[in-house]
Amino acid sequence: MASNSQNHNKNNIKIHEHCKVPPPSSTPTSSLPLTFFDTLWVRFHPVERIFFYSLQTPLSDPSHFFRKVLPDLKTSLSLTLQHFSPLAGNIVWPSDSSKPIIQYNPGDAVSVFIAESDTDFDHVLDNSPKEAENSRLLLPHLESSDSLASVLSLQITLFPNRGFCIGIATHHAVFDGKSSTLFIKAWASLCQSLTNGESLLPSSTLVSKFEPFLDRSVIKDPSEMGLNSTPSWTELMMELFPGESTEKRCLKILPFHPKLEDKVRATFLLTRGDLEKIKKRVLSKWDIVEQERNHSSKPPNLSSFVLACAHTLVCIAKAIHGIEKDKEKFGFAFTVDCRSRLEPPIPDNYFGNCVWGLFVDTEPLDFIKEEGLVIVAKSIHSTIKMMDEKGIFHRYDMLNRFIDMAKDGVQIMGVAGSNRFGVYGIDFGWGRPSKVEITSVDRSLGIGLAEGRDGGGGIEVGIVLNKRVMDLFDTLFRRGLCDAK
């Protein structure tokens, strides 16, 4: 499975090998069309995550790692790819097709880099702010050109005598966060079988809950869903990236470069108790704090997603405004899983994109107001409630709203990941993750969400901010929890 090994140093990273891991040779040619949910993301930046695992000696000793751990990871990856063969292929645009497709041909394979880092593993796992660029060394590049785009790329990095990490770059046009997590869980399941001494064959089956549902025909055409048109993201992209190719059939990922200069990355935990405090504060002022755009009645409860996003985003906006006074206008956009919201609903293990974007109905100055927390929480809750009542496509003017807000100097904040994905349960056979990071939040102003690693019902929030802004954010984040008693 490996090509010729190569060694070079990039700061504290040594690349031992660049290999190609294919599915078993018996895996047939396959192709999948892109639905309109997928085509929105064709030129969008990769979604990048890092899973960190601590290892007990002797497995964390380099000789044992390369002799035992790494072979099991590669073998199980190959066996998993036979069930997810599109991931070993590429996005292409046939001349006789109106849309790109995902094409797998025998011989296609996933690019895997094998690396070693001399960075202090405890420092890597620490949640406190650290240079944002450090994580970038643990991620692979996802190749793309005008005519072809890779779907998946991996980097496995050993921290000698301590642990390792798996850096994953995925093409958003092929799958959403729920689908990519399904693949990683399937891979971990087969790898765990190997580490337990089971003999796996190319015909090895997956546990049924990890089997992907690959039939794209369950996604109706936009017109059948009540959409007269779908957003033309090409127009938006050309607004954001003047000078880039406007050719309709171009597949090259646009340069959403990571924002790393003078930036730090940190992870914050909202415990179940913290979320309860925030909820009590929001509900206690629900009928007092008025909004111009919605007047929904006070609910009996609020989701952890609403509470975590409202608290974090308000603190981000106030921190940025506190350091840079001219930045005072903010907005929030997020995606919702549509699998259970379509008519009829589609299988939960549907493999592909099935998310739709929503803008929260806030005024640009709402985030920095004294009662910004309550206003934003009410707005997120109301947006989700309205979608559930009127359908996911009751409003689909996101493109125009985005362009108008951007022209008005509004900074759009976003969110990646979910506290429902269960990433801290992904065990390859050597224990649960010590840390999971959504690294690609450094490509925009956004937050990464995951469930708390202790399983106590909390939420982890990952962010990347300017160093001075992060200091103020830290203060506001903690003070807000004290005030929300």
Catalytic annotation, residues: 172, 427
Burial of 391 (0-12, 13-18, 19+ CB in 10 A): middle
Please state, in angstroms and rounded to a whole number, the distance separating the CA atoms of residues 367 and 357: 20
Please state, in angstroms and rounded to a whole number, the distance separating the CA atoms of residues 74 and 62: 16
Say if CB 417 and CB 438 are below 8 A apart.
yes
The C-alpha angle 359, 275, 270, rounded to 5 degrees, equals 90
Q: How long, in residues, is the chain?
A: 485
70-81 and 177-195 helices, crossing angle to 10°: 130
Residues with Cβ within 8 Å of residue 430, at least 6 apart in sequence: 53, 55, 56, 59, 69, 195
Please state, in angstroms and rounded to a whole number, the distance separating the CA atoms of residues 75 and 324: 51
Please state, in angstroms and rounded to a whole number, the distance separating the CA atoms of residues 481 and 314: 12
Say if CB 251 and CB 93 are below 8 A apart.
yes
Burial of 351 (0-12, 13-18, 19+ CB in 10 A): buried
Question: What three-state secondary structure class fits 199?
Answer: coil
Please state, in angstroms and rounded to a whole number, the distance separating the CA atoms of residues 155 and 14: 12
Residues with Cβ within 8 Å of residue 390, at least 6 apart in sequence: none
Sheet of strand 101-104, all strands in order from the earlier edge strand to the far edge: 30-33, 101-104, 90-92, 149-150
